[in-house]
A and B are shown apart, each in its own frame.
Chain A
Amino acid sequence: MLRLPRPILVLLLVAVAAIAVVPLVGERFHVQLVTQMMVLAIFAMSLDLLVGFTGLVSFGHAAFYGLAGYALAILTRDAGLTSMAVTLPLTLVACGLAALAIGALAIRTAGIYFIMVTLAFAQMVYFFFNDARDYGGSDGLAIYTKPQLAFGETMLLSLQNRTTFFYVTLAALVATFCFLRALLRSPFGHVITAICVNEARTRALGFPVARYKLASFVIAGVLAGLAGYLGAAQFGIVNPAHLGWRESGRALMVVILGGTGTLFGPALGAFVFLLLEDVLSGLTEHWLLLMGGFVIAVVLLLPNGIAGALLRVARVPPSAGEGARSRPDAPALRVVASNDAPILETEGLGKRFAGLVAVNYVSLSFASGKVHAVIGPNGAGKTTFINLLSGELPPTTGSIRFKGKDITGFSPDARSRLGIGRSFQITNLYPSLSCLQNCWVAAQSRQSSSMRFFRAAARLDDVRARAECALTRCGLAERSDDLASTLSHGERRRLEIAMVLATEPELLLLDEPLAGLGAQESREVVELLAGLARDHTLILIEHDMDAVFAIADTLTVLVNGEVIATGPVQQVRSDPAVQQAYLGHEEAAA
């Protein structure tokens, strides 16, 4: 999704070159306008990191923009600091700390609630400065001495000079763009994109999602601070309006107008937005009427914003996968010796939902290296049981031990890191990523380096190899570059399993891997599971009895949340109670 098609790359380079000559040919007014555009572009890109790439729609992003202005003004006024080498880092640190504090609280909420919480915090910052007489109240503060950079006695740069300021801003713009691109191509970038597409799945793969979101929030806050620093320095003034909701809303408009999740789109959006404001306000006094009409037309005609339209012209779908070459050889990922030691044990495990007992004191022991099937009629508590094992649900009673270690209180991501992988009954993929990328994210969850920012994920050969290996094992090597959304139902189920495999689990929890599959697709998945059983322990829930009898070693029958029989398949199968309670029904119904 980050590969820029050549025409767009050329367009961006031409745009940068065109901007660079503005001070040579343009008048003072033009220089100022373009500087404003560049500042807004930096601000908009920082917001796109949240909105377009992390899935966090912030309606309070201007808080960091305005805060940076205040930080610069206060450092200049109260500490007499004018050197950019001092004020810029201090300002950015201040914004980063503020983003850390606000983000840590805000990411506890999601969706529209997140929008509103970020708005609330930004409004609190707004009113703090609005009501603080020391900081100029609603008039704000002036920055009388603009930042400068001197080496000894030699003045290197002074932002007092309009042309210097222009080129410093241009450098900041290009640097921000390159920084964000590198960030998004790093392992970290892959994970936040995955969170954006499917958060629950990313958590199930073992990523501490909250930490990634917070890191993204802080980075976005720091970059907004960079824009705010430049914005305040340009006009030498900062006031509460800079951190109010109108400014946040305007930035959001610029990002949406430009095209979320494209990075260059919001930057272009900033130029178009300010240019339009300038042109329209020259046409008529009531230009906002035209602006409103323009905004509505963009929504209705260009749903993916300016960038979406450009990418369409360049014939690239907005979220195309990155190219990759698949390898035919498919070595096993992990070899587990089959022995009878239990890999997972539950003791008195129970779950109660407000009066309904879904799982009632289940004590089971699952031997390592075997295939364990859990069957039972609808509503028997099978999925709840799997959810307790994977950590999706906290148990009401009892405990779970994995290889002898008590994991009852562990989160789903912690369990995943220990080696418990789960697949979902309702296929849970990243539809807008390619098959390879789906597995890539999964494989990366086993890398301690995922939080490493600046190493292109594409260069992590190990991760790539594991992703490809998982795909090959599941028979999807041919489709590795296709978007997950284009797969058939059977292929999606196999990709679902490939993603679990790429996390290198010892124990696989499979929730109805055959649900909704046709006969042929079903056979393919059964074959795949039989192959996996050679080097993994499997616990699967399934309705398809033929499949269960074909691959399972042990069988556990759950009725009304209780185990009525457990043991080797043949033994349980011939148990009269089971035949009475469950299999009899099943065969009679069939």
Chain B
Amino acid sequence: MDPAAFAIQLLNGVQYGFLLFLVAAGLTLIFGILGVINLAHGSFYMIGAYFAYWLTARTGSFPLALVLALPVAALLGWAVERFAISFLYARDHLHQVLLTYGLILIFNELQRIVWGNDVHGVPLPDALAGTLALTELQSYPVYRLVVSGLCVAVALGMYAVIHTTRLGMTIRAGASNREMVQLLGIDVKRLFAIVFSAGAALTALAGMLSAPINSVYPGMGESILIISFVVVVIGGIGSIKGAFLGAMLIGLADTFGKVLLPDQAGMVVYGLMAAVLLWRPRGLFGAGSA
């Protein structure tokens, strides 16, 4: 692999890792703080992508679609937490799995009713559609760099919120000891609602950003869900740092796996996860309780 091709794959891997991080961060926080296994998390990714497609077609502008769709996704997350998930806090994980599976069926079917079964592309504005020439033959799409940049900005913003604000302190406390936070007189209901809708919004954002790259298609939520669970488990449940590292590992392993081992590409990420868990049964940064 020549240096330019290597650089392209490296950038692709990192960019994929960033998108995975947006999804996995929400998933790991929802599990760590709310104690809920949310299978419907991937549905927000799909919904984000379809909103991006639909609003871009309506408004003619992809950036405008992003701005419009983000609050809608957060609101949807809030509604799902309020009207479905909140009944499950005291229940067994198996019940959570079953209920959120029911939600997946409903979201998927709603998607089919509203948008049908076709695969859709999302056009980019001219300013983002260009490519940067790396060598005479190879170039890199500007949009992918923009996605990575945006993700870095979001990640830094999250870091700032989590490490400098009161809300962030509560979130950190909740991720390391959920029961204790509930006993400390913190308004847990509000905290749960905020974490869940923020997680939904982040995931929807990832779906929107990926739409112009990977197009928009039915079932996209489940594939991202499974791979995000892999990320969360590799990193250790409840750990944002772990989610970030896991996302990068999986992003790079998947990207380079497809280039270097095209025949076994699908197995690479799962093999990586199995290896990590056999080495550290609670993931890289797993807390004492899970």
Binding site for B on A (CB under 8 A): 51, 57, 105, 108-113, 116-117, 119-121, 123-124, 126-128, 130-131, 245-246, 249, 252-253, 256-257, 260, 286, 288-289, 291-296, 298-300, 303
Contact = CB atoms under 8 A, between A and B. Distances in A.
Given A109-B281, A131-B266, A289-B110, A116 B273 contact: yes
Contacts of A127: 264-267, 270
Interface stretch (B60-68, B101-109, B159-167): B101-109
A299 B95 contact: yes
Interface stretch (B1-9, B86-94, B119-127, B139-147): B86-94
Interface string B29-40: 001000001000
B233 interface: yes
A242 to B, nearest CB: 16
B98 interface: yes
B78 interface: no
Interface centre among B84, B222, B274, B286 (most CB of A within 10 A): B274
A131 B99 contact: no
Contacts of A300: 87, 99
A298 B105 contact: no
A387 B31 CA distance: 32
Contacts of A105: 274, 278
Contacts of B264: 127, 131
Consensus secondary structure, chain B interface? helix
Given A51-B94, A112-B237, A127-B270, 12 more contacts: A112-B233, A117-B278, A120-B271, A126-B266, A127-B264, A131-B264, A286-B109, A288-B109, A293-B106, A295-B105, A296-B84, A296-B103
Given A109-B281, A121-B274, A295-B105, A252 B263 contact: no
Given A127-B270, A292-B106, A119 B99 contact: no
Given A128-B267, A131-B264, A256-B97, A296 B102 contact: yes
A253 B99 CA distance: 10
Nearest to B39: A249
B283 A113 contact: yes
Contacts of A245: 226
B26 to A, nearest CB: 16
B230 interface: yes
B277 interface: yes
Contacts of B88: 299
Contact of A295 (B99, B109, B263): B99
Interface string B272-285: 01100110011100
A192 B74 CA distance: 44
Consensus secondary structure, chain A interface? helix
A18 to B, nearest CB: 27
Contacts of B93: 57, 112
Nearest to A300: B87
Nearest to B223: A245
A299 B98 contact: yes
9 contacts: A108-B278, A113-B283, A113-B290, A116-B233, A116-B273, A117-B278, A131-B267, A253-B98, A289-B109
A536 B108 CA distance: 65
Contacts of A260: 94
B105 A113 contact: no
B283 A112 contact: no
Nearest to A256: B98
Interface of B: 31, 37, 84, 87-88, 91, 93-95, 97-99, 101-106, 108-110, 112-113, 222, 226, 229-230, 233, 237, 263-267, 270-271, 273-274, 277-278, 281-283, 286, 290
Nearest to A128: B267
B276 to A, nearest CB: 10
Contacts of B104: 292
A384 B87 CA distance: 40
B91 A303 contact: yes
A197 to B, nearest CB: 14
B131 to A, nearest CB: 31
Nearest to A257: B98
Nearest to A289: B109
B277 A256 contact: no
Nearest to B94: A256
A327 to B, nearest CB: 38
A259 B227 CA distance: 29
Nearest to B102: A295
Nearest to B91: A303
B94 A57 contact: yes
A120 B267 CA distance: 9
A262 to B, nearest CB: 13
Nearest to A51: B94
Given A113-B283, A116-B277, A303-B91, A292 B233 contact: no
A288 B111 CA distance: 11
Contact of A121 (B37, B94, B222, B270): B270
Sorted nearest first, the 10 A-B pairs with minimum C-beta distance are A127-B266, A292-B105, A295-B102, A292-B106, A296-B102, A289-B109, A116-B233, A120-B270, A288-B109, A299-B99
A124 B271 contact: yes
A130 B88 CA distance: 37
A292 B277 contact: no
B103 A131 contact: no
